[in-house]
Each structure stands twice: as structure tokens, then as C-alpha cells.
Amino acid sequence: MSYTIKVNGTARTVDADGDTPLLWVLRDLLDMKGTKFGCGLALCGCCTVHLDGSPIRACVTPLAAIGSKEITTIEGVGETATGKKVQEAWLALDVMQCGYCQAGQIMSATALLNQKPQPSDQDIDNAMSGNICRCATYTRIRAAIKQAAGMPTADTREV
């Protein structure tokens, strides 16, 4: 069946079953490899994209459920003011190790900052704990979110 979805501002038509997860539509039908596969069960956050600005897990979002909602992926998030700031902060703080999860981290972080421009450490924990980083670059992800928000990057959690 044919579906037309809006990805990063562009209408894209794909021929696939309606139960095909958005992740595989993006990766294998639209050749947008930035959104990553990690678990297939919305447990790791690698495949996070925005649906009308809200972070969702593309691996469990069926193509048929998208309708006219706008999808933003890592390939397009840099076109938004917040997304660009987040990408720049990720580079400035050299967040990456293997980098595999970072597209999902950036998408979750961007959604957080759109909702809470000055997040607390608790806000960061709440918004980011669905995104696993196997290399455990959490220290720098936390700092980079603060940097993108224009806040001091120090870890202020009480220890």
C-alpha cells in the first residue's frame, strides 16, 4: 500500500505495509540511515525522532499511524534553532564515543529543550533516561544539554 508521509518538511511516498515501523521506512525505504536500530521495542531510544515535535520511538511506530503528522529526524533537526544548538554543543563538548546512540540522544535532548529551555538535572534525568548510551557518555550528554541551553555545564547534582 502507498503512504505519503512528511519527513523533514518534504512529502515522501513509500509503498509498504501499514504495520512497517517508521524506523525501517526511514532507513531502508527512504535511505535515511541516521535513525538507528537498537532494540525494536522502544527500550533504548536509538531510533528517537520527532512526531509533531514530540520525541517518539520510530521502531514501534507503524507507518499507518503517522498520517499527516510531521516527522523530524536527525538529518533534519539541524534546520531547527534548538536542534542546531544541540548539535553544536555535542561537537563542542566532544560527547561521542562510538556515536551510535547519539542521533537518538540529540533528538531527545532537542525535544527536552524545546519544552524546557532551562532544564534542571532532574529534568534531564527524566527526559533522557529512555536513551541508552552503551559507552556511557552520560556525563557529557548532561553537560552538552546545559551548554545548548546556555547554562553553566557543571554537574550540580548533590553528592
Contacting residues toward another protein, per CB under 8 A: 16-17, 20-21, 24, 27-29, 31-41, 43-44, 46, 73-75, 78, 87, 90-92, 94-103, 106, 124-126, 128-142, 155, 157, 159
| Closer to another protein by Cβ: residue 17 or 52 | 17
Q: Which of 112, 134, 137, 136 is nearest to 55 (CA)?
A: 112
| Closer to another protein by Cβ: residue 54 or 136 | 136
Exposure string of 127-150, with b = 16+ CB inside 10 Å and e = fewer, is bbeebbbeeebbebbbbbbbbbbe
Least Å from the CB of residue 135 to another protein: 5
CA distance 43 to 132: 8
| Closer to another protein by Cβ: residue 38 or 55 | 38
